[in-house]
């Protein structure tokens, strides 16, 4: 012990300092090391959880992108089908309108032909009547000059025979 005294160390003081150091170490361990260690563990867990959540979000984002691509493809296919159906429907409507227009034009043409035929018959009747009247006058004039009596019935029969012969 004297050696310790000779270098300037007091054993009592050394023991007291060792006890103080032990107490300080115990207090630091109890009140500082454990809470700091606990805090570090909590932060590590939070960071790990955040990384795991980020991976899940990234995975969900990729799945969403894939789903979005499928939806877009499906929508394009559906839109293409709808356009095709609309074209077909439009073509059917067009064909229907054309057929209807053709039917109307045929009917109008038929009606016009019938009207023309009726008008033609009326004109022919009028012409026949006028011709009969002219022939009748001419015959009267001729018959009156010859001194014979005019026979209207005979003239009408002659006109009828001429008309039948012509068709």
**3-state DSSP of 43-110:** HHHHHHHHHHHHHHHHHHHHHHHHHHHHHHHHHHHHHHHHHHHHHHHHHHHHHHHHHHHHHHHHHHHH
Task: Decide if pLDDT at 73 tops 70.
Answer: yes
Predicted confidence (pLDDT) per residue in 11-53, tens digit: 788 899 999 999 999 998 888 888 889 999 999 999 999 999 9
């Amino acid at each position: 012990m004297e050696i310790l005294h000779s270098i300037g160390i007091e054993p009592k003081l050394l023991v007291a300092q060792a006890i103080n150091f032990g107490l300080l170490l115990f207090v630091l361990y109890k009140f500082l090391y454990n809470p700091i260690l606990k805090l570090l563990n909590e932060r590590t867990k939070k960071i790990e959880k955040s990384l795991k959540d980020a991976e899940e979000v990234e995975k969900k984002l990729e799945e969403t992108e894939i789903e979005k691509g499928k939806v877009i493809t499906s929508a394009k296919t559906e839109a293409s089908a709808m356009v095709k159906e609309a074209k077909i429907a439009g073509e059917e409507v067009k064909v229907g309108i054309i057929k209807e227009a053709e039917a109307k034009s045929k009917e109008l043409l038929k009606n016009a032909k019938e009207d023309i035929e009726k008008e033609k018959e009326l004109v022919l009747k009028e012409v026949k009547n006028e011709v009969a009247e002219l022939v009748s006058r001419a015959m009267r004039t001729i018959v009156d000059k010859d001194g014979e009596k005019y026979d209207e019935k005979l003239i009408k029969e002659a006109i009828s025979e001429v008309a039948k012969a012509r068709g």
